[in-house]
Each structure stands twice: as structure tokens, then as C-alpha cells.
Amino acid sequence: MAGHHDEFIRLEGKIFTKSFFFLLTLVLIGFFFIGVRYVKGIGAVSNMSDGYPWGIWIAYDVATGTAIACGGYAVAILIYIRNHMKYHPLIRSALLTSLFGYGLAGFSVVIDLGRYWNSYGFFIPSRWQINSAMFEVALCVMTYTLVLVIEFLPAVLWSLENSRGVTIRKVADWLHPRLVPSDDRLSSGLEWVRSSAAWLRPRLDKVLVFFIVLGITLPTMHQSSLGSLLLIAATKLNPLWHTGFLPLLFLINCIYIGYAIVILESIISSSAFKRPIELNELSGLSRIIPWLTIIWLSVRVGDLVYRGQIANALRFDFYSCFFLIEFLLVAGGSIILFSPRMRRSPRWLFITAAMLVLGGALYRFNVYLIGFNPGQGWHYFPSFAELMITVGVVALELLGYQVLVKLFPVLPNPKAHGHGESQHHHKEQNIPHGAVHVGK
Amino acid sequence: MSKQTRRTFLKTIGLGGAAIMAAAGGVCQASEQSGVNNEALGMLYDATMCVGCKACMTVCKRVNSDFGGLSFEKAPFDQDGIWDAPQDLSGSTRTLIKLYKESDDRWSYIKYSCMHCQKPSCVSVCPVSAMTRDKQTGIVDYNKDTCIGCRYCQVGCSFNIPKFQWEKSLPQIVKCDLCKNTNLKEKGISACAETCPVGAIAFGKRKDLLEIAHNRLKENPGRYMQHVYGEHELGGTNHLYLAGVPFDKLGLPILPENAPAEFSEKIQHTIYKGFVAPVALYSTLCFIALKNQKKHEGSHNGADHDGENRGEREEHK
Amino acid sequence: MKKDDELICEGVTRRDFLKTCVTVTAMMGLPFAMHTQIAEAVETNKNPAVIWLHFQECTGCSESLLRSSHPTISTLILDMISLDYHETLMVGAGHQAEKSMHDSMVANKGKYILVVEGAIPTKDNGIYCKVSGKTSLETLRTVAAGAAAIIPIGTCASFGGIQSVSPNPTGAVGVRDIIKDKPIINIPGCPPNPYNFLSTVMYFLTFKKLPDLDNLGRPKFAYGRKIHEHCERRPHFDAGRFAIKYGDQSHAEGFCLYKLGCKGPETFANCSVQRFNDAGVWPVSVGHPCIGCTEPDILFKRAIAEKVQIHQPTPPDTYAPVNLKDKGKGADPLTTGVLGLAAGAALGAGAMLAKKLPTDGDSSGEEKKDE
């Protein structure tokens, strides 16, 4: 993405905003409970039990969180495989969301693991158990996170190349005036950083495509395997959800959630940072979604019919109701998106994207938690500490996103792709490159 | 997007897909011959003979507690920890006698412990081979030095046997291992079977146990439910049961004859055997992406814009 | 006080009588001074009469009774009952003894207690045990006719005992098989604990009625519980610690004797509680398994080393039930509250944002790119 840096722009604005501190508080509360978890054991901070050994840390942070993080994956397919370069402006923010999503999913797994000190075993071939879907998920997710870091590197390198050392000076000054480096040392240090970045960036750009394609292959593998994880629970997962099609359903589910989350995140971002909505791109994305969901819903319903589960689906008991909510959210959102007028309405894009994300996420929750019944009177509901750890992790993700878009060129440059005529940005024609009026 | 590119795309996908299917089809076979190993060691528990003395529970703790970091389980009102009173299998209890009481005249005891399945789900799902099944003895063993504590084995087990030490900061999974490292090694028999005063627990090779079980059913039909639990459930288990009341009332679930591990492994192997499909997918996608890249460079060096990209750029990626 | 040469009965002067009492006192091992008490008791005794018959027996039950200390045999005989006939303990013999029994039967008709020790042979009209020319069968029937209650003491009298073991050549049976029309309180044991007998007698004398009996006619206060239910080695049974061989380490440790053939699980008795000889011992406590001597079908009929089936009473509800109703922690108010609040806030914010967004994107002047 070398020459595209006018395409992306660093968001100007204070980092330490009100929302920053609010999110930071949530993060600190979450980390406090994480500390308790390590000192007193998992039972002290969670309601997981022998009947429900996986709780929201797996069902949300890992299974649903990575699906929500699949924006990068979904958009990458569009751009690099389907060759729709018009979506390129969205790629970096999607990537950053993915990076955080997967990174924090991995973080949540480490917290959830009981004997985390043995996790180096994933790198010891004698311990590999290749029949296990979890083995494949673990290696795949670790590799994918690395690939996302590499894919994000160009943005970082660009910032390094163009940095002026202002922040470093300010931070050092804040620590202790004596620590502020002299001007020569600072410029020589910066020069070294800049030249290294400049040396690395073009070389990276040449081979980046191979990492990008890897970044499309890997999620195809592990997102479907996230579904395969529950294949073993044939006797405990409600037949409304347990099927040999779980891998396929999870794969398609993550792709349409990916597009929906890109739309959602983009609209929220635009609204929060007072930037124009990328209507053309989002509208284009929303055109693809209904076709995906049609396939997904057909497989879903067809499978239920084949296994004779339609009666159970319409029984209106606990399980049936959750199935119907999931079904209606996804189907409803998709039907609306068949209309071109709705696709060009920011409001309806937002609403349908929200419906699809909620419905798709509910599907994953249903498979991992709600439809899972070990029998014998077990039940599960997350504890307060458990919930706050998840909230802390999500807050960290939002916080990180907020901070990083202000440090690196991630968000699309509105000037660079056709927003020039919009009345929002008349003023901005005269403002120097890189500066966008923001409210926060 | 022009029709040309779309057609090329679909052709490539089609070819790539066909290649994947062919490769996958070629290797889509069962990973192991799924026969039943009747030379495996096991136990036959006869609930009609059990008197609920719980000697098996106490001897199991005595023999195995040092091995595997167990501790005695306290009743909530017993601060001194003198009275071990587990209500369920747990991180300190590997075998348990429970009571099913229908009325004062109709009751049955039931002993819970690992079923040592012929095709264990826990072994199939453990990512780091902490759960293993011995080929000869059929014993499903747990190795805490490899275990990462992901608790996938708990998700997989249809009998809800592996238990986790939730209350410990350095926890492990706990379950019966047929005294593999303790009594079985020293005396050739599991501690519970050795100590049972009434002989309710028979220990030996699965084929012998099945013979004993069927003989008992034949000689005393009125005393038993006409079914040896574990003979066929989930592909067969090495821990077999006879009882005088329906098994599901004793907490032994009604299960089909096919092992879930075979189902999930078949699907996993169909997709991933020999790593063919992922590599094929990667190659196909690389091919497409590089072609697209070249096309952009080509169209850019030429004069025609496809109208999508405003602004001048040197390279597209 | 009567004069020494007064005749008490034909040919027996008072002096002779007192001499006899002294002798009896001496024979019974009682203190010398008690001879006057004996005299008084015998003379003016208003205590219930007891007639004690011996048939096919080893006299072990009487021996057992002699070793009691609360009450002692002397207190029993002198203060509590009038033992009118007891072949081992009584002074007289021969015709005199028989007359004594006959007189007591007449004087106390319908009121005396008949104690039977030993089994009664029934084969060949019962000729295999004859006392004073009469078969025990006949004697039993005669004496039982006027008795208020019958207490067969020992397993032999209760159920037949050793002589009734197959092939039972003499046709030996217990009292219950012969007398059907009188209240019978069996005090089985080989020998029984004397306090079982004494307590029964005391109960009867005090309350003038029989104690609660089980279906074998044994008083429940003594025979209502199995040895297995109140044995001091039960914790060893429960913990799976068993003695394997006599004299080996496990035996020396005092482990449960079940595997050596202890019949405790099928035997109703109170030996483990009451113990013997006032020395606090009973067979299991010294390392020998219970042989089930209070049971009609175990003593001498099952080998000592043979293991018994353990029949449990209805198990108490303190066992872990199969159906633990509630497992795992469910929803708590705090978490549900926080979750509800968060969900509400998210939905609210979303709705507000949706409202703010323009319905029609094209009015914002975006160039329409059709795709």
C-alpha cells in the first residue's frame, strides 16, 4: 500500500478525551479482576463450572469477537480477490479492528486457559494432536494475528517516516525535563528511525501481497474450525444447532458479519469523529450481504429440514425462541438490503448492519452457550467479575482503536475519494492536508 | 467490474475448487480402522450387588491422592475438614457412589468414574495430547505436564467425567485413570475393584467382563435390566454397567452407538487431510491476487482509468 | 424365730434347714452372712417363681448368667425371683428336687416363669433326652401348661442350636416349635449375653408385660440391630481395610473381619455394645469374626469362613443423590442488572444514532456510484 498514503489520513485530535478516560476506567476494572483470576483461580472470578466449562470468554471474546473482527478478512477478499479497488479506503480501519479483535481474542484465551504455562506445547511437534479442531484454530489464529501485524506495518512505517518527534519530546518532558533529549540527538535518532522505515517499507510492499493472501486463507480455515469445535458435542448441543454443516455455517456467518461490522463501524466512526459517511463503499458492501445470507439461511433451513428439526424450531420453547430470534434478525436485515433505496440510506444501512451483527453473533452464542446443554441440572450465567473482564477487553479494543487512528494513517482521507463536493467539506478544501475538523 | 474479469474469476475458482475436491476426495477415508478392542482392560460394575459402603471411594482417594495433586473435599459445614463428603465427581474426587432412591423399597447405588471409551472424545479434541488412550490397555490417561487447561475435554465428554479444579490458581483436570500409575502398576488391579467387599466391581479384559455380564443377565433375568451399559454406547466403553433400574435414572444417559469423535474427525480430515486444501486455496488466491495486481499496474501505465481510482498513485496493492 | 428343733417339713428340722442354707450359700459362692437372707427369701418369698428346665444343652447359658455382676446371681435369686428349680444351681437332687418343682407349679400355677435351656428332641417320641424318667418333650409340655411366659435362653432352646444341625438325628427343635399357646421371649446366643436375659426378666417384673419382640420373638432392645450396624470396626469396613489372614499384619492392625467370614452383616445382636464378662470383650474385639450365634440359620449351619451377603436397610438420604437439582451458578442480581443496563444503553444509543442519520444518503450530495 505504499503509494496510497494520501488515501489514508491520521485523525487529528486530542488523545486524552472523555471517552478515553471512560474506557480506561473499564479497562482498569477488567484488569483488576484479571489479577484476581491469577491469584485466586478461575472459579473466583467466573461462574464457569464442570457442566459449562466454556463461558462468555470463549463464546464472546473468542468465537463472536473474532467474527466481528472479520471485517479485515471480508474486505480483503473484495479488494484483492474480487479486485474491487473502490473499497480500498476501508481496508486499514478494517485491518485495525481485526488486529485488535484477534489480538484480544488471543489475550482472552490466555486468561481463560487453566494451565497457561504449558501453551508453548503448541510449538512442540511431539505434542501436536492433529485430530483436534482446537489445535488447528490455535495455530491458525496465532499465525493470522502475526499476519495482521505485518499488514498493518506499512501504516506504522509511514508514521515513523513522517514523524517529527513532537510526541517524544512532550512525553519525555512530562516525565522529567532532564530526560528531554537534545535537539541533535533527537534528530539523529529520528533520522535513523526514518531511514530504517524508509528502507523497510518498499521491500515490505513488494511481498505484502503474499501476506495479504495468507490473511485471506487463514481466516477461511480457522473461522470454519471455530464451528468444527462444537462438532464433538453431538450429545450436548441442541439439534437445532448441531450439524455437520457447522464449519460451513460459521465461515459464511463470519463473512457477512465482517461486511456488516465494516458498515457499522464505519458509520459509527464517521458519526463519532464527525467525518463524512463513505456511502458509495458501504452501499456496495451492503449489496453483497443478502446473497451471502441467502446461502447461509438456505443451508441452515435445509439442514434443519433434512434432520427433521423444523418441528422443534417452531415449538416456541426456550431453544426454539432463540433460534427464531437469530433467524429473524439475519433474514430481516437481509431482506431490507435487497432494496437499492434502502442500501443508499445511511439510517437503514446502520439498522440492517446492526441486525446482521446481532443475529450473526447470536448464532455463535447459541452454538457455544445457549444451545449447549450438558444435562443433569447444570446452568450458567456469567458472574460480575467475568462480565467485567470481557467488558474490559472490549473497552481496551475501543480504546486502542481510538488512540491508534490518531497516531497512524488509518481512516480514509475524505478528500482523496470524491467527498470534495459534499457540503460537509467545502471548508476543508482550504485546510492543509491531513487536518480534518473533528469534534472530539 | 467487467464481464471479462468476472468470468476469469469464476473459471479460476472453479478449477481451484475442483482440484481441492479431487485431492480431498482422494484422502477422505476414516483415519483409523474403528474396530473395538476387546483385549482392553476395564471394569464391570454391578449396581445390584453394590451395598453403598463407599470403600471404593475412600481407597481411591487413599491410593491416588498423592498422585495428581488431589485434596480431600470438605463439606461446607465442616471447617476442620474431617468429613469428606463429595456430592459429585470433582477436582478432588475421581470415583463416586451415588444413590438413586425411588421409594423406601426401590433404590439403587451407582458408581461414577471415567468410562474409558473405545473412541474417546476427550482424546480426539485435546490439542496438546494431554489426554491419551493406551493402544493396548485402552486406558484413557491424563498428563498434566502437557495440559494447557483449555477444558475442551470437558466440552467433548458425553458423560461429563473430566473435572476441573476451579478453586485452585494452578488447576488441573482430574479423572479416573484405572489406577494406571498406582495400584494397577503395583498390583495389576484398580484399587476400587481390589477393595470392594462384595465383588460388585469386576476387573479384567473387556471380553471377559462382557461374558460375565451376559452370563449374569442370562442366569438372573429378573434381577437386571436386560442391557449391558457401555457395550455399544458411543462405540463401546471399557467401563461396563449392570443395574436393576433403568440406566438413565441412574444418571447414565441414553446414547447412540456412534462415537461423536468419529463424526467430527471425519469432517476435520475431509477438509484438512495432508494439508492439501489449505495449500491449494492459498495458491489459487495468490494466483488471482497477483493477476489483479498486474492488471492494475497495466491499466495504470496505460491511459484508461476504470474510473474507480481518483488521484494519482504509483503502485496499487 | 422358730426353735431349732421345730420341724419345717417331714424329717427336716429348722436346724437342718439353716445348715442347708449355709451350704447353699457356700456353694453359690455367696458371702456367708447371706445365708439368713436366703432363708428368709426361701421362706417368705413373694417374688415370682421361676422354673428353669435343662434339655439338650451344654449349660453354657447358665454359666453365662453366673458371670453377671449387675445384678449378681445372688441378688437375682434372693431379691428378685424365686428360683424354684434349677438343676445346676439347686441344692436338692433326685425326688426332692422333682417335688420342689411340682410344688412350685401347683403353688404358682399360671404365674411362674418357665426358663428353658437346651433344645428338645422330638424324634422317636423324644426319648433322646429324659430326665427323671420323663422325656423332655413331655416335661416341657407339662411345665409350660401352667407358665405365665416362657423364656428360652440360648440358641438351642430358641431355635434348636447345634443339635439341630443337619442331619439332626434327634429331631431337636426349639421351644417355639412345640409350645404354641404361650408368650415366648427368645434370648438366643451361644451363649447369650446374660444381661439380655436379666433385662428381660427385670422388664417383665417391673412392667408386668413383655418387651417389644421382633419376628423371631427376640426382644428388640437387644436384638433389634445388626452387628454390622454398630460394630467398632465398621469404619475399617467403610474404608476398605480388611484383615486377610489370621495373624498377619492386617489382622494385627484390627481391621474389619468381613473377609474372614464375619457374619455381622446378617446377625442381629448387641454383643458389640453390651460385651461380655464385664471385661468389655466380644469375639470381634479380640480378632475373631462373629459367627452369627443369635441367628437360626447361621450358627453352626454356615461355615465360619464363609462370607455373607450384605443386606442394607433403606439407605438414608445422606448419600449424594443422582439428581443434584441445581449445579453451576446461575444469574445473580448484580450481573443481570449491569448487563441489562449496558444492553439498554447500547440499544438506546443505537436508536438515537439511527434517528440522527439521514434516511436518504443521496441528498447529502454524494455522487451516485452505481454498483
Name every residue whose Cβ is closer than 8 Å to that of residue A258 and which is 6 or more positions away in sequence: A67, A70, A71, A72, A73, A74, A75
What is the distance between the alpha carbons of residues B119 and C169, in angstroms, rounded to a whole number?
64
Q: Which residues of C touch A387 (CB under 8 A)?
A: 335, 338-339
Q: Which residues of A touch C339 (CB under 8 A)?
A: 382, 387
DSSP secondary structure, B224-276, as one string: S-S--BTSSGGG-BSEEEE-SS-GGGGT-----SS-HHHHHHHHHHHHHGGGH
Of C240, C309, C327, the CB nearest to B55: C240
According to DSSP, the β-strands at A411-412 and A8-9 are: antiparallel
Of B58, B97, B107, the CB nearest to C240: B58
Of A271, A376, A418, the CB nearest to C327: A376
Q: Which residues of C touch B77 (CB under 8 A)?
A: none
Nearest CA in chain C to A271: C353
In this complex, how many residue pairs, one in chain B and one in chain C, have their CB atoms less than 8 Å apart?
69
Q: Mutation test of the interface with chain A: which of C356, C362, C364, C368, choosing the one with the most A Cβ atoms within 10 A?
A: C364
**pTM assigned to the model:** 0.76
- The reply to whether B65 touches chain C by the CB within 8 Å rule is no
**What pLDDT, on a 0 to 100 scale, did the predictor assign at position B104?**
78
What is the distance between the alpha carbons of residues B274 and B163, in angstroms, rounded to a whole number?
34
Indicate yes or no: CB of A115 within 8 angstroms of CB of B147.
yes
Indicate yes or no: CB of B129 within 8 angstroms of CB of A247.
no
According to DSSP, the β-strands at B96-101 and B107-112 are: antiparallel
Q: What is the CATH number of the domain that holds B60?
A: 3.30.70.20
**Which of the four CATH numbers 1.10.287.110, 3.30.870.10, 1.20.1630.10, 1.10.340.70 does domain A5-436 have?**
1.20.1630.10
Q: Residue B20 domain-assigned?
A: no
Q: What percent of chain A stands above pLDDT 90?
A: 53
Indicate yes or no: CB of B249 within 8 angstroms of CB of C322.
yes
Q: Which of A272, A311, A250 lies closest to A64, judged by CA? A: A250
Contact C28, C73 (CB under 8 A): yes
Indicate yes or no: CB of B164 within 8 angstroms of CB of A50.
yes
Lowest mean pLDDT among A57-61, A367-371, C312-316: C312-316
Task: State the DSSP code for A123.
Answer: G
What is the distance between the alpha carbons of residues C307 and C261, in angstroms, rounded to a whole number?
5
Indicate yes or no: CB of C334 within 8 angstroms of CB of A376.
no
Task: State the DSSP code for C28.
Answer: T
Long-range CB pairs of C20-25 (<8 Å, 24+ gap) are: C20/C91, C23/C91, C24/C91
Q: Which residues of B touch C244 (CB under 8 A)?
A: none
Q: Residue B149 domain-assigned?
A: yes
Q: Which residues of B touch C259 (CB under 8 A)?
A: 197
Q: Residue B264 domain-assigned?
A: no
Rounding to the nearest 10 degrees, give the CA dihedral for residues B82, B87, B90, B96: 90
The per-residue pLDDT string of chain B (317 residues; one tens digit each, 9 = 90 and over) reads: 444 455 555 555 555 555 444 444 444 433 444 578 889 999 999 999 998 888 888 888 878 876 554 555 555 665 554 466 778 888 878 888 888 888 878 889 999 999 999 999 999 999 999 999 999 999 999 999 999 999 999 999 999 999 999 988 899 999 999 999 888 989 999 999 998 988 999 999 999 999 999 999 999 999 999 999 999 999 999 999 999 999 999 999 999 999 999 999 999 888 887 788 888 888 988 888 888 888 877 766 654 433 334 333 433 44
**What pLDDT, on a 0 to 100 scale, did the predictor assign at position A1?**
42
Contact A371, A237 (CB under 8 A): yes
Lowest mean pLDDT among A25-39, A262-276, A342-356: A262-276
What is the distance between the alpha carbons of residues B250 and A322, in angstroms, rounded to a whole number?
31
Domain ranges across chain A: 5-436
Q: Which residues of A touch B163 (CB under 8 A)?
A: 50
User: Is a pLDDT exceeding 80 seen at residue A166?
Assistant: no
In this complex, how many residue pairs, one in chain A and one in chain B, have their CB atoms less than 8 Å apart?
217
Indicate yes or no: CB of B255 within 8 angstroms of CB of A232.
no
Q: Domain span at residue B198?
A: 41-258
pLDDT band, very low/low/confident/very high, at A382 (cuts 50, 70, 90):
very high
Nearest CA in chain B to C321: B99
What is the distance between the alpha carbons of residues A387 and A400, in angstroms, rounded to a whole number?
20
Indicate yes or no: CB of A376 within 8 angstroms of CB of C323.
yes
Q: Which residues of A touch B164 (CB under 8 A)?
A: 50, 53, 114
**What pLDDT, on a 0 to 100 scale, did the predictor assign at position A410?**
83
Q: Residue B276 domain-assigned?
A: no
Here the cell at position B53 is 459402603
The pLDDT of A209-221, averaged and rounded, is 90
How many beta carbons lie within 10 A of that of residue B248, not counting itself? 12
User: Is a pLDDT exceeding 50 seen at residue A76?
Assistant: yes
Indicate yes or no: CB of A42 within 8 angstroms of CB of B255.
no
Indicate yes or no: CB of B264 within 8 angstroms of CB of A376.
no
Q: Which residues of C touch B54 (CB under 8 A)?
A: 238
The pLDDT of A241-253, averaged and rounded, is 95
Indicate yes or no: CB of C361 within 8 angstroms of CB of A345.
yes
Indicate yes or no: CB of A50 within 8 angstroms of CB of B289.
no
Q: Mutation test of the interface with chain A: which of B264, B269, B290, B313, choosing the one with the most A Cβ atoms within 10 A?
A: B264
Nearest CA in chain A to C351: A351
Contact A402, A272 (CB under 8 A): no
| Total count of domains within chain B | 1
Here the cell at position A252 is 459464511
Average pLDDT, chain A: 86
Enumerate the β-bridge partners of residue C281.
Answer: C276
Q: Which residues of A touch B144 (CB under 8 A)?
A: 115
Rounding to the nearest 10 degrees, give the CA dihedral for residues C115, C116, C117, C122: 180
Of residues A345 and B74, the one with the higher pLDDT is A345
The helix/strand/coil state of A73 is: helix
What is the distance between the alpha carbons of residues C20 and C18, in angstroms, rounded to a whole number?
5
Here the cell at position A136 is 488447528
The pLDDT of A321-348, averaged and rounded, is 93
**What pLDDT, on a 0 to 100 scale, did the predictor assign at position B3?**
47
Q: Residue B269 domain-assigned?
A: no
What is the distance between the alpha carbons of residues B3 and B16, in angstroms, rounded to a whole number?
20
User: Is a pLDDT exceeding 50 seen at residue A431?
Assistant: no
Indicate yes or no: CB of B99 within 8 angstroms of CB of C322.
yes
User: Is a pLDDT exceeding 60 seen at residue A5?
Assistant: no
Run means of pLDDT, 10 residues per run, chain C, 371 residues: 61 70 62 66 67 94 88 82 88 86 91 94 93 92 94 96 93 95 94 90 80 93 92 86 91 94 94 89 95 94 88 70 76 86 89 84 49 37
- The reply to whether C328 touches chain B by the CB within 8 Å rule is no
Of C312, C320, C323, the CB nearest to B51: C312
Q: Residue B94 domain-assigned?
A: yes
Q: Residue B175 domain-assigned?
A: yes
Of B255, B286, B296, the CB nearest to A235: B255
Contact A414, B200 (CB under 8 A): no
Window 289-328 of C, Cβ < 8 Å to A: 323-328
What is the distance between the alpha carbons of residues B316 and B295, in angstroms, rounded to a whole number?
10
Q: Please give the span between the terminal C-alpha atoms of chain A, in angstroms, as a whole number.
A: 29
Q: Residue B157 domain-assigned?
A: yes
Nearest CA in chain A to C360: A345
The helix/strand/coil state of B143 is: coil
- Helix or strand run (H / E) with residue B141: strand B140-142
Here the cell at position A421 is 463536493
Work out the minimum CA distance from B59 to partner chain C, whole angstroms.
6
Contact B35, B131 (CB under 8 A): no
Work out the minimum CA distance from B52 to partner chain C, whole angstroms.
8
- Find chains touching chain C: ≥3 CB pairs under 8 Å: A, B
Q: Which residues of A42-56 are buried (b: 16+ CB within 10 A; e: fewer)?
A: bbbbbbbbbbbbbbb
Alpha-helical (H) ranges within A273-309 are 279-306
- The reply to whether B56 touches chain C by the CB within 8 Å rule is yes
Cα-flanking dihedrals φ and ψ of residue A346, to 5°? -55, -40
Q: Which residues of A touch B308 (CB under 8 A)?
A: 84-86
Q: Which residues of A touch B263 (CB under 8 A)?
A: 231-232, 234, 244
